[in-house]
Each structure stands twice: as structure tokens, then as C-alpha cells.
């Protein structure tokens, strides 16, 4: 399903969900009908990132289990008419997740949206590997830390094994001063070490934290901030976006 991207990281704290929310907002701003699907069962957060946490009635687990139709659980963003969210369940466990049902749901939804981003929990099993089977392209998010880089390598291998055709790296929360001091590996070197194309590098930016606390993606709240400009550029750089 060429419209479906899986977004994952090997460890928590990489800013993966913040990236997903801002990519979605940037794509929607550009006129692409975009659906974000939160797959972090039991620990959902995209609804908070988008300021939709008080509007959740049904969730993705309800959809997968046939308790409601997708359109009953999908939330429309109040500011961006082209941005939609399918939240996950907060009171369920990852073991309840059914990969085959996710594939079936995605195969129906691809007809209604230009882009679908699957926001996975950190780590390998079981959900990221399951979600990868529903996606054509992958975004692997890592911070410039040895542990995050090593874990990203494992995620890339899992994506390849699951049949993801193309995977790309985003280095997030990067501090150029750390690179100058020799404390952080340059993003281009990280990409080479992982054998992944580098889609882009997002700088550490206080505007992102402030935006997250306000429930408004930074690309909307402070579009001229350094991180917001990069998020917008990344959305325009997604390979194959113009072919979806």
C-alpha cells in the first residue's frame, strides 16, 4: 500500500510522535488529505499532540474489533480540514493488537486518504513489526545517541524483513554544538552507518516543547521556528508523495 508510511523508533524519547503530528499537519496544510493512526496501544499521545484528547469516543481497537466503523472513531482536526486522527486505546494492552485486522482496515482507508502515517510504539515487538506489514515505506526516527542509533539499526532490519520497500532516516533533536564538541555523530555519518537515506535532520527547539504543551503542532503554532521549517520541508520531501 504505497500511501501508507510506518513511523518507528528503537527507543522512547526520540520525538517520533511529535514528528508524526507535525508531518501530518504540514501535509494537510499543503492540501493532502492525511490520516494519522496512533498504534501505541495503552500509551496513546497523538490525540494530545493535536489537541484532540477531549474528543475521543471510539478508538482504533474498537475499529479492529468491529465495535464501530472507522468513520465513527476517526477525528477531524478543528483547524486543518485535511488532517484526521484515528486514536488508539488507552486502557488496552499491546497483546490485544491484531495485525491482520490492521492490514484489512488500512486497505479500506487508502481509498479515502492521500497519505496514511502509522505511528508505532518504540521497540520491535509486536506492533511495529505488525504495522510494517501494512506499509510500503518507513520512517525511522533516531536521536544522535549511540543507544538510539543502535536500536534504529534493529528497526531497519525488522522493516526489511517485514517487506517495507523503502526506509528513510530522520535524525531528531539534533544539537549542532554537540557535533562541534565531538559529542554527537554528524547525521550524514549516522545515515551511512545504518545504510539508510537521510531524509532530514530536525534541530532541538524549545518551540516544539511549547507547542506540544499547548496541543498545537509547532508547524501551526510557530511556523517560522527552526524545527517547524524542517518539519514542513520533510513533508514536502517524502519520497513518492506526489505519486500517491
Q: Is residue 243 included in any domain, yes or no?
A: no
Residue 73 lies in a domain: yes
Q: Report yes or no on 244 lying in a domain.
A: no
User: Tens of pLDDT along 79-112?
Assistant: 999 999 999 878 777 667 776 788 888 888 988 9
Q: Can you say whether the dihedral through the CA atoms of 142, 148, 153, 159 is positive or negative?
A: negative
Does 146 reside within a domain? yes
Q: Which three cell numbers stand for residue 195?
A: 545504510
Residues 6+ apart with CB under 8 A from 171: 142, 143, 144, 187, 190, 191, 198, 200, 201, 202
pLDDT at 180 over 90: no
Mean pLDDT of 22-28: 97
- Find the CATH number of the domain harbouring 139: 3.40.50.300
90 within domain boundaries: yes
Domain limits for position 102: 4-237
Q: Answer whether residue 170 is part of any domain.
A: yes
- Total structural domains in the chain? 1
Q: Which pLDDT belongs to residue 182?
A: 77
How much is the pLDDT for 244? 35
Cell numbers 532490519 label which residue? 157
Q: Is 40 a member of any domain?
A: yes
Q: What is the pLDDT of residues 118-149, one digit of tens each?
A: 998 887 666 676 677 778 899 999 999 999 99
Handedness of CA 45, 206, 216, 173 (dihedral sign): negative
State the Cα–Cα distance between residues 215 and 53, nearest whole angstrom. Answer: 9
* Strands of 198-203's sheet in order across: 75-76, 83-86, 34-38, 115-119, 4-8, 137-142, 166-174, 198-203
Nearest-10 Cα torsion for 6, 12, 14, 20? 40
Task: Indicate whether 242 belongs to any domain.
Answer: no
- Given a cut of 90, is residue 61 above it in pLDDT? no
Amino acid at each position: 500500500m504505497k500511501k501508507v508510511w510506518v513511523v518507528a523508533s528503537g527507543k522512547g524519547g526520540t520525538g517520533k510522535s511529535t514528528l508524526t503530528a507535525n508531518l501530518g499537519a504540514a501535509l494537510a496544510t499543503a492540501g493532502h488529505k492525511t490520516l494519522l493512526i496512533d498504534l501505541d496501544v495503552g500509551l496513546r499521545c497523538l490525540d494530545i499532540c493535536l489537541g484532540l484528547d477531549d474528543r475521543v469516543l471510539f478508538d482504533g481497537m474498537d475499529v479492529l474489533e468491529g465495535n464501530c466503523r472507522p468513520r465513527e472513531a476517526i477525528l477531524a482536526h478543528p483547524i486543518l480540514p485535511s488532517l484526521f486522527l484515528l486514536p488508539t486505546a488507552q486502557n488496552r494492552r499491546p497483546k490485544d493488537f491484531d495485525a491482520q485486522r490492521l492490514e484489512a482496515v488500512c486497505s479500506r482507508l487508502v481509498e479515502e486518504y492521500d497519505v496514511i502515517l502509522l505511528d508505532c510504539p518504540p521497540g520491535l515487538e509486536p506492533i511495529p513489526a505488525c504495522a510494517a506489514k501494512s506499509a510500503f515505506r518507513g520512517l525511522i526516527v533516531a536521536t544522535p545517541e549511540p543507544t538510539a542509533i543502535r536500536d534504529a539499526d534493529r528497526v531497519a532490519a525488522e522493516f526489511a524483513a517485514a517487506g517495507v520497500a523503502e526506509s528513510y532516516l530522520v535524525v531528531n533533536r539534533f544539537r549542532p554544538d554537540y557535533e562541534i564538541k565531538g559529542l554527537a555523530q554528524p547525521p550524514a555519518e549516522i545515515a551511512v552507518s545504518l545504510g539508510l537515506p537521510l531524509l532530514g535532520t530536525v534541530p532541538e527547539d524549545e518551540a516544539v516543547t511549547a507547542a506540544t504543551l499547548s496541543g498545537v503542532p509547532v508547524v501551526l503554532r510557530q511556523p517560522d521556528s527552526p524545527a517547524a521549517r524542517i518539519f514542513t520541508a520533510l513533508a514536502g520531501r517524502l519520497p513518492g508523495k506526489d505519486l500517491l
